[in-house]
Amino acid sequence: MEFTKMHTLSNDFVVINNIKQYYHLEKNIIKKLSNRYTSIGFDQLLMIESSKNKNIDFHYRIFNADGNEVNQCGNGARCFAKYVRFKKLTLKNNICVSTNTNIIYLKILENNKICVNMGVPLFDPESIPFLGKKSKNKYSLLFNNEQIFFDIVSLGNPHCIIQVNNLSNISINLIGSFIQNHKLFPNKVNVGFMELINSHNIKLRVFERGVGETNACGTGACAAVAVGIKKYFLSNKVKVNLLGGYLNIKWKGNNNNMFMKGDAHYVYDGEINL
């Protein structure tokens, strides 16, 4: 099987061109391929497929390292755009891509930057999904006899955002795993820990569903900014500082689309015997 290794902000991907070749990979095979010690290694696997709609350029599928298919990946979308241009699958700067749940629009800019239209953030519990609660201004769960307060939002995939005073004092893996696997999140959830620097800047670490903590998460960055703008402590343009680098997020609030801008990088092409 031919594949391409890519990354953005050290969030790494394997991209498979299922237009040129076709592979149906079972969950256990994807999980084996994601192992960094015995195989290729990646946070997510991306599949590029032909579109059945003449108005849509490509179809886009995303699989986490545990083999489960998910519906959205912002960093992966930028790698997707970089790939289809780098491999000359399209000459367009504006690319329309379908996913399992929606349509996303990618724009290739100068200086290796790519802008992704992330759509409108959704805050109602059913969109996450989050069980047993009506829509609230703040939610909480009890962890080690302490209340953890958080917000919920969907950017095509589910996010729980926790605002903290100092990221260096937080048990990311323990709290992230607890919330991610809580019964109130039937499809599990990505857990973001946000530290406010000022109204234009935040720090963020994300414990991703089916992966663990990653160096960057595009939808996680958008989710954190969406919460901050909704609650009026962030401006409409925010720089999100992640372990692997930064992203620029823009949102006018309400029912307007959110936009994410960042880079994407080709690493190498390879082949692996399945």
List beta partners, residue 158.
Answer: 154
The DSSP call for residue 93 is S
Which strand (E) or helix (H) includes residue 222? helix 218-230
Q: Pick the catalytic residue: 73, 79, 160, 222?
A: 73
Residue 168 backbone dihedrals phi, psi, to 5 degrees:
-70, -15
Q: To which residue do tokens 């992640």 refer? A: 242
Residue whose C-alpha is closest to residue 42's, from 29, 30, 26: 30
Q: What contacts 97, CB < 8 A, 6 or more positions away? A: 56, 57, 58, 59, 60, 77, 80, 103, 104, 105, 106
Residue whose C-alpha is closest to residue 229's, from 190, 194, 266, 182: 194
Q: To which residue do tokens 């919330």 refer? A: 179
Residue 78 backbone dihedrals phi, psi, to 5 degrees:
-70, -40
Q: Pick the catalytic residue: 115, 160, 217, 222?
A: 217
**Strand 11-17 versus strand 2-8 pairing type:** antiparallel
Q: Answer yes or no: 115 catalytic.
A: no
Residue whose C-alpha is closest to residue 67's, from 181, 179, 211: 211
Q: Answer yes or no: 96 catalytic.
A: no
Active site residues: 73, 217
